[in-house]
Amino acid sequence: MSGELIYGIHAIEAALTHDPKNILELYLETDSQNARLKELSERARDAGVKPHARDKAALDKMTGGARHQGAVARYRTPPPRSESDLAQLVEKAGAQALLLVLDGITDPHNLGACLRSAEAAGITAVIVPKDKAAGITPTVRKASSGAADRVAFFAVTNLARTLKALKQQGVWLAGLAGDASEDFYRLDLKGPLAIVLGSEGEGMRRLTRESCDYLAHIPMRGSVESLNVSVATGVALFEALRQRGAKP
């Protein structure tokens, strides 16, 4: 059977809710006393997806020993989005455009956590480079609790060129850098905006950094040198929402 594996209760619940037609096969652990798996089975049947029983050993083998929580599916992944789609999304969002640019995040758990925060913030799009960066994988889907398939995700060939195109559309670029002198909370984060973060080890690449209109740091009182990139993403996105007067 073709299709990519997704696993974990949250990831499969999200697929059933938002994209059940692309679930090709669903496997649930037999003899499990987990009430959530029983609920998942009922939801799957309601969505027209027939679950198949498998023992834990079979699911372990299927996922290579990953923590699957007794739920595994084969999933037809949506086609990748084109960069022309990005321009259209930004134009449609207008002054409310809010984008997240992640330059060189290689840890799938970090990328998944960033996507979860991005989806919660109602982001317009998430942009990453195709090379030397994590893409959407089963681990990312699980870490994102299914948000990976609900955000507009773009893996671009030339990040510097994409950032230039965003600026030509009127999007301001605010980069987070620990060595920047500006306080992030003092920036004006209203209007069309992209928040740019780099990898934990290297930070933003030179061309990415030079593309930013502003560079700022998140002020901290403790002795740690930096925040985890997924934590910094959440802080930055929700500060932008606060300034924009976001309401639940």
* DSSP state, residue 205: -
Assigned CATH class of 4-75:
alpha beta
103, HSE (Cβ side, Cα atoms, 13 Å): 27
| Contact of 143 with 111, CB cutoff 8 Å | yes
pLDDT at 2: 61
Beta bridge partners of 138: none
| Spatial distance between the Cα atoms of 23 and 44, rounded to a whole number of angstroms | 10
Would you say the C-alpha torsion 46, 49, 55, 57 has a positive or negative sign? negative
CATH of 83-243, one of 3.40.1280.10, 3.40.250.10, 3.20.20.100, 3.90.1170.50: 3.40.1280.10
At residue 90, the 3 state secondary structure works out as helix
pLDDT at 138: 82
Q: How many CB atoms lie within 10 A of CB 36?
A: 14
| Contact of 157 with 127, CB cutoff 8 Å | no
Maximum Cα–Cα distance for the chain, whole Å?
Answer: 58
pLDDT at 246: 65
Amino acid at 167: K
| Spatial distance between the Cα atoms of 236 and 81, rounded to a whole number of angstroms | 25
The rounded average pLDDT for each run of 10 residues, N- to C-terminus, in the chain (248 residues) is: 81 87 92 86 92 94 91 85 91 96 94 95 96 88 84 95 97 95 96 94 91 95 82 96 81
Q: How many CB atoms lie within 10 A of CB 121?
A: 20
CATH 3.40.1280.10 occupies which residues in the chain?
83-243
CATH 3.30.1330.30 occupies which residues in the chain?
4-75
78, HSE (Cβ side, Cα atoms, 13 Å): 16
| Spatial distance between the Cα atoms of 73 and 52, rounded to a whole number of angstroms | 10
| Contact of 175 with 148, CB cutoff 8 Å | no
Instruction: Specify the DSSP element, H or E, that contains 6.
Output: strand 4-7
pLDDT at 153: 95
pLDDT in tens, 105-134: 999 999 999 999 999 999 999 999 999 899
Q: How many CB atoms lie within 10 A of CB 68?
A: 25
